Amino acid sequence: MTAKRAIGRHESLADKIHRHRGVLLLISIPIVLITLVLLLMPGTSTSVSVIEEYTLKNRAGGSNSRGPKNYAVIFDAGSSGSRVHVYCFDQNLDLVPLGNELELFIQLKPGLSAYPNDPRQSANSLVSLLDKAEASVPRELRPNTPVRVGATAGLRALGHKASENILQAVRELLKDRSRLKTEANAVTVLDGTQEGSYQWVTINYLLRTLGKPYSDTVGVVDLGGGSVQMAYAISEEDAATAPKPLEGEDSYVREMYLKGRKYFLYVHSYLHYGLLAARAEILKVSEGSNNPCIVTGYDGTYKYGGKAFRAAASPSGASLDECRRVALNALKVNDSLCTHMKCTFGGVWNGGGGGGQKNMFVASFFFDRAAEAGFVDPTQPVAIVHPVDFEKAANQACNMKMGEGKTKFPRVEEDNLPYLCLDLVYQYTLLVDGFGLKPSQTITLVKKVKYGDYAVEAAWPLGSAIEAVSSP
Ligand SMILES: O=c1[nH]cnc2c1ncn2[C@@H]1O[C@H](COP(=O)(O)OP(=O)(O)O)[C@@H](O)[C@H]1O
Ligand SMILES: [Ca+2]
C-alpha cells in the first residue's frame, strides 16, 4: 500500500508534466529566447549619457590568438608638439622592456597644426618619429603591430576641413612609408573625452588600480597647450544622475570594462583652456592694452593659433590680485549659466566628486611649470604639492621685473619668462576656482609613473595602446 502510493505519487508528477507539456513548452520558449538575446547583446548602457564602451579584458589565463609579445605604436599629435610612444605588452597585458626602457618615447616641436595650409609638410613632420618607432619593432611583427595617430586640441581648433586634409596626408604617409598595421579610424582627431579617459586608463594601469573598486582609483587632470581634461571614476548611482549633454556636446560619462570591473568614468575636456590657449584668453580680456598678468617691464606680442595678441605689462607692474581677477573673468566662473547640480566653470557639470576624485594626479603643464618655477624637482617622476604652491610661486613671479627672471627663476625657459605670473595664476585659478579643489588639498604632479623598476610617461597614448592591443 505504502509502496503503491509512493509509486502512484511518482507517476502522478510525471503524468502532470506530460499532461501540461504543451503549456510548459509555451512558457519556456520565450524564456529561452529572452535569455539568448540578453547573452548575445553587447553591453547595454544603464545611463543615457554613456557614449561608448570599450573592453580591456584581463587576459591572465585567458586564451588569445596573439603571440607572446604585442607591440603598439601611438602618435600623440599634440597642439604644441608631436610625440611617438612604442610599447610592448606580454600576454597578461603587462608592459615588457623595449631596450633599456618600458617604452620608446621621442618628441619634437612644433605640432601638426603649425602647418595649417600645407598638409603634406605637416604629415612629413612625423617622418623621423615614424622611422625610429618602426625600427624599434621586430621586423616580423610589424604587419601585426597597430599604429595610431591621435590628434588633440591643435587640430580640434583648426576646424574640420583643414584638420581632415592633414589627417589624410598622415594616412598616406603611413601607407607609403610604413608596414605597420593601420586599422580603420587609426588616424583621427581624438574627442576630448577619449583623450581624458585614455589618460585615466594610463595612470591607473601604471598604478595597478584597475580592477579595484572605483574609490581606489585616482582621478586625473591633464593640462595641455590647447585643452585641459579632467577624468575620475564615479558611482553607478552618480552616473545615472549625469545631466544629458546638449546637442553637439560630449557626454559626461563613459562606461568602461577594465580588468573584469565596470567603471563609470566622469570625463570632460575644456577646449581653449589649455595653458597656451588660456594665455590668449587672458590677453583678450585686456584687449590690446596693458595686462596685469604680464611680467613687469615686458612689452611684446603673443602668438597663438595664427593670431597675435598684445602682451604688455602695466606701468605699475604685474599684480597677483588683478591678474586673478582677469583669470577668473577668462574662466567665466561666475557669469555662465550653471544649469546642472554643481558646475566647475563654463556651465560644465562637476561630476559630483566622490571617492574617485580624492587622489588627483595632475599632469603635463602643471608639472612642467611647477618645475620651471622651482618648487618641483624635474628629475623626479612625481611631486606632492598643494594648489596654494602655485599661488605662492605666482606671488613671486608677479612681483619680479623681467631683468630679475634669470636669477629668481633659473629654470624658466626664456620664452616663458614674460608669462610666468600669468601661467601660475591661471593654474592656481583653474585648480581652485575652476575645478573647486581646496588650496590646501594634496595633489600629485606627475610626469612619469613608476612601474616596477621603470618609470613610464604619464600620457594618454598608453591608454590608447592598451585598447589597441586588447581589441579583437
Ligand atoms: O608623454 C608625455 N609625458 C609627459 N608630458 C607630456 C607628454 N606628452 C605631452 N606632455 C606635456 O603636454 C604639454 C603639451 O600639451 P600638448 O601639446 O599635448 O597640448 P594638447 O594636449 O592641448 O594638444 C606639455 O606640458 C608636455 O610636456
Ligand atoms: Ca596632450
The three cell numbers of residue 435 are: 575645478
Q: Nearest to residue 381, comparing CAs of 452, 455, 451, 453?
A: 455
**Which pLDDT tens digit goes with each residue over 110-124?**
999 999 999 999 999
Q: Sketch out the chain's domains with CATH numbers.
A: 67-189+458-470 (3.30.420.40), 192-441 (3.30.420.150)
**Probe target for ligand 1 pocket from 364, 376, 419, with the most ligand atoms within 8 Å of CB:** 364
Least confident of 63-77, 341-355, 416-430, 455-469: 63-77
Are the beta carbons of 234 and 356 closer than 8 angstroms? yes
225 is in an annotated binding site: yes
Q: Nearest to residue 422, comparing CAs of 383, 384, 369, 377?
A: 369
Q: Nearest to residue 447, comparing CAs of 202, 227, 272?
A: 202
227 is in an annotated binding site: yes
In angstroms, the CA 371 to CA 112 distance is 26
| Mean local confidence (pLDDT), 63-80 | 85
Our answer to whether residue 195 is catalytic in this structure is: yes
Q: Nearest to residue 236, comparing CAs of 224, 249, 253, 211?
A: 253
Check if 428 has its Cβ closer than 6 Å to any atom of ligand 1. Answer: no
Are the beta carbons of 281 and 432 closer than 8 angstroms? no
The three cell numbers of residue 192 are: 576630448
**Which pLDDT tens digit goes with each residue over 242-277?**
998 878 888 999 999 999 999 999 999 999 999 999
Q: Give 222 Cα–ligand 1 centroid separation in angstroms.
A: 8
Check if 79 has its Cβ closer than 6 Å to any atom of ligand 1. Answer: yes
Are the beta carbons of 272 and 371 closer than 8 angstroms? no
| pLDDT at residue 67 in the model | 78
Query: Which of 134, 195, 372, 467 is flagged as catalytic?
Result: 195
Q: Give 14 Cα–ligand 2 centroid separation in angstroms.
A: 70
Residue closest by Cα to atom 6 of ligand 1: 364
**Probe target for ligand 1 pocket from 80, 104, 269, 361, with the most ligand atoms within 8 Å of CB:** 80
In angstroms, the CA 298 to CA 43 distance is 57
Q: How far is CA 45 from CA 41, 51, 154, 234, 257, in A?
A: 11, 9, 32, 15, 12
In angstroms, the CA 383 to CA 426 distance is 20
User: Who has greater pLDDT, 59 or 446?
Assistant: 446
Q: Which atom of ligand 1 is nearest to the CA of 457?
A: 3
Starting at the edge strand that comes first in sequence, how are the strands of the sheet with 50-56 ordered?
A: 50-56, 253-258, 261-271, 227-234, 219-223, 360-364, 443-446, 382-385
Check if 423 has its Cβ closer than 6 Å to any atom of ligand 1. Answer: no
**Nearest ligand to the C-alpha of residue 276?**
1
Residue closest by Cα to atom 18 of ligand 1: 78
Q: Is the predicted ipTM greater than 0.85, yes or no?
A: yes
| pLDDT at residue 441 in the model | 97
Q: Give 298 Cα–ligand 1 centroid separation in angstroms.
A: 27
**Which pLDDT tens digit goes with each residue over 91-100?**
999 999 999 9
Kindly indicate the confidence band of residue 418, based on its pLDDT and cuts at 50, 70 and 90: very high
